[in-house]
Amino acid sequence: MAKKVFINLFIFLLTGGIFCMILYYYGIYFLIVSAMLIFYGLGLINVSKFTVKEVAAGRIRDLSGIFAAFVTVYPLLIWMIGFGILHLIYGIYVYLKYERA
């Protein structure tokens, strides 16, 4: 099972990483943060069929990536919210739902 999770997440992370390098190569820096969030969110949605069924984490990251594509003023702040704060909130939610029972 862990092998399936790794492969299904790695496909999106590798594709997103290559796409981000292409964006960097062409000097399109303002879309790198949104591409990272979108590809990571797509990977989480793809992996959710092998883990807990909440795909809200992936959808929220996709939405934050789309938001980051439009609001390019504070990319580091959006990146920190998308990866850091959303991970904390989702981790607390999963803990309270599954482990605390």
Q: List the chain pLDDT tens, one digit each, 101 residues.
A: 788 888 989 999 999 999 999 999 999 999 999 999 999 999 988 888 887 777 677 888 888 889 989 988 888 898 899 889 988 998 898 888 888 76
Tokens linked to 91? 């981790």
Contact by Cβ (8 Å): 23, 29: yes
Find where tokens 């939610």 sit.
93
Give the pTM.
0.86
pLDDT at 74: 86
For the chain, the domain total comes to 1
pLDDT at 101: 64
Domain that holds residue 15: 2-99
